[in-house]
Amino acid sequence: MSPAERAQRRLQALADALEPRLRDRFLRMARVLPPDEIADLVRLLEAGDLDGAVSLVFDRSQATQALTTIRAEFARGVAEVTQRIQRDLTLVGIRVIVPISSPALIERVRTWEDTAFRRVNEELRAGLRETIATELQRGIGPRQVAVALKGPISPVGLTAYDVRIVQSFRAALEEGRYRDALQRALRDRRSDRSLVARLTSGKPLTPKQIDQMTAAYQRKLVAFRAETFARTAAIQAANDANQASWLEAVEQGQVPEDEVRRYWIVSEDERLCATCAPIPGLNPDGVGLRQPFITPLGLRMGPTIHPNDRCTVWIRRERAGVRRAPAPGSTRFVFA
């Protein structure tokens, strides 16, 4: 295993340890978001004020608290991984102590909050808006829509994209396209036998069965969304901790900045990810500590740049006059 691969596995393992905690926080948020009191929500829906309804759900104090908890978990993750990386750096003779309130750490958390986390938040708001709009369009009354939001399988926690997937799943069941339903990777497999039986008998599902299957599908999508969020946020936290540790090492005079080089390491799980695959080739000599990488999406400081991104940045010291090993990544991928 090359040093770059070893470094990557290390960061990915640290991220894997954070992932369940972040996933748990996301799921808790999805549970906390639905309003406990629906009278105001019904009034807004009756007035056709969709944005007002979305704000009512997301801007309540419980919702804000849930978001704060996620942010705190991310910050805690970055701090924890930073401590591990500090120990790793000691092994290569770099003795750096990163205080919990280091400007570099605070900056990483703030950047994440302003970019990836904000995006997730906006997607969830858009998802709720889409849910309400489609339900109203289907002729469901404002009161029933509000009750459904509060229910045990609340659709809060889905993106607009997820909501459309759920709707098309429901449509497939309603229109008797069971083969389509059976091809959904996230369907609840406990319904498979019933669906297969209907393929041969031609007997339609009852509305209650359709509701139950759709609800189960929706629950799985929320779990999938939580997984994607946690996976991406965790690897981001690990990469951020790494970057912050090296920044601090430079600040503390442990390493001259011009000897620090960063290389984008594409994750093996991502071999088919068209977004990241060309990046090592676009930056064959790596970049400096505060220099962005050239990526197909423009200049980026590092991963993550898309959901489920598992790439890492390998940071190393390259002393002047010492011959470098070939840049990592560039031999493993062929570039046009």
Interface residue list for Zn ion (CB under 5 A): 276, 309, 311
Report the nearest approach of Zn ion to the CB of residue 310 (Å).
Answer: 6
Q: Which is nearer to Zn ion, 218 or 236 (CB)?
A: 236
Q: Which is nearer to Zn ion, 56 or 311 (CB)?
A: 311
Cβ-based neighbour number of residue 195 at 10 Å = 19
Report the nearest approach of Zn ion to the CB of residue 279 (Å).
Answer: 7
Cα–Cα distance measured from residue 48 to residue 64, given in angstroms and rounded to the nearest whole number = 24
Q: Which is nearer to Zn ion, 90 or 331 (CB)?
A: 331
Point out the residue whose Cβ comes nearest to Zn ion: 276
Report the nearest approach of Zn ion to the CB of residue 304 (Å).
Answer: 7
Q: Which is nearer to Zn ion, 257 or 269 (CB)?
A: 269
> Which residues, in sequence order, are bridge partners of residue 242?
none
Report the nearest approach of Zn ion to the CB of residue 138 (Å).
Answer: 38
For the chain, count helices (H), then strands (E): 12, 4
Q: Which is nearer to Zn ion, 240 or 248 (CB)?
A: 240
Q: Which is nearer to Zn ion, 112 or 217 (CB)?
A: 112
- Structural contact between residues 232 and 308, judged by C-beta atoms closer than 8 angstroms: yes
Q: Which is nearer to Zn ion, 30 or 120 (CB)?
A: 120
Encoded amino acid at 139, one letter:
G
Cα–Cα distance measured from residue 242 to residue 168, given in angstroms and rounded to the nearest whole number = 42
- Structural contact between residues 127 and 162, judged by C-beta atoms closer than 8 angstroms: yes
Report the nearest approach of Zn ion to the CB of residue 328 (Å).
Answer: 14
CA 178 and chain centroid, separation: 31
Q: Name, in order, each residue with C-beta under 8 angstroms of 256's C-beta and a sequence gap of 6 or more.
A: 250
Report the nearest approach of Zn ion to the CB of residue 119 (Å).
Answer: 16
Report the nearest approach of Zn ion to the CB of residue 192 (Å).
Answer: 34
Cα–Cα distance measured from residue 248 to residue 83, given in angstroms and rounded to the nearest whole number = 12
Report the nearest approach of Zn ion to the CB of residue 270 (Å).
Answer: 5
Quote the tokens at residue 311. 């790439």
Q: Which is nearer to Zn ion, 105 or 266 (CB)?
A: 266
R_g over Cα of the chain: 24
Cα–Cα distance list, 68 to 22, 108, 268, 300 (Å): 12, 16, 33, 26
Cβ-based neighbour number of residue 94 at 10 Å = 18
* Residue that is written with structure tokens 């994607």 in the block: 228
